[in-house]
Amino acid sequence: MGEVRLQKYLSEQGILSRRAAEEEIKRGKVRVNGTPAMLGMKIDPAADTVEYNGQVVASSVRHVYLMLNKPRGYVTTMSDEMGRPTVAELVEDVGMRVFPVGRLDLESEGLLLFTNDGALANRLTHPKYHKPKIYHVRIRGAVSPEKIAALGRPMEIDGYLTKPAEISVVTRKQDYTVLAIRLFEGRNRQIRKMCEALELKIMTLKRVAIGELRLGNLAPGEWRYLTRAQVDSLKR
C-alpha cells in the first residue's frame, strides 16, 4: 500500500467518515507519529502511526522488525541520485516495504535496524529515548592511554559538547588498535569527528550493538528478523 490521504485512511479503517475526519483533523484530534496532523496530508499506513483521541488506529499492515549487517560502500537511503548502492537493495527480499532506523555513513558498517513501525522508529531516533550504541573502531597504530581517556571525556564538536563515552580496548596490535566505544547520544559522524580531533586515523568503524541488541555473527549484507524479546527490549 502506498501513500493515502489521512482522511481517506481514517474512513477506510471505519473510524470516521471523510468529512468527519476532516473536521477532527482541524480540531487537532488526530496525530501522526506523535505530531498533530494537518488537513490534506498523506500518510503511509506501512510506516506511519495514526492516533485519534489518543488511541492508535489499528491498520491491517503487519509490523516487521529486522536487523541488517550493513557492509561498507552502501548508503543508508532507500534510493540514491548518484547511483550508489543503497541498503534498500539488501532488504528487497523482505517482501514488504521497510525503512532504516537511523543511519550509518557510507564507509561505516554493522548493525542497522529496519522496520515499517513508524512509532518505534520515531521513539528510537528521539533523543529522550536514545539507546546506547557500541562501535568497534579500528585505529591505525597504537593509541596512548591519554588519548583513550580523552575520547571518553566530553568534547566540543561542531559547537556542541558531547556526552561522556565509555571506551575500552578490544585488541592491541603492532600496526593497529581496536577500541570499543559506547555512545549515549546519536550525533552525525560523532566518532569520526572525535577521532579526527585527536588525530586518530580510523581504518574501520563497525556498530555492534544497539541497546541490548547485538550484531552477533550475522554476515555482511545479510539480514534476519528480530525476536519478540528483542523488539520488546527496543520498546522499553
**Phi-psi map region of 83: left, alpha, beta (phi>0 left; psi -120 to 50 alpha):** left
Q: Which residue out of 44, 80, 105, 117 is catalytically annotated?
A: 105
Catalytic (active site) residue 105: yes
Q: How far apart are CA 153 and CA 145, in angstroms?
A: 13
Q: Which long-range contacts (CB under 8 A, 24 or more apart) does 222-231 make?
A: 222/68, 222/69, 223/66, 223/67, 223/68, 223/69, 223/90, 223/91, 223/94, 223/114, 224/66, 224/67, 225/64, 225/65, 225/66, 226/65, 226/66, 226/67, 230/65, 231/65, 231/120
Active site residues per annotation: 105
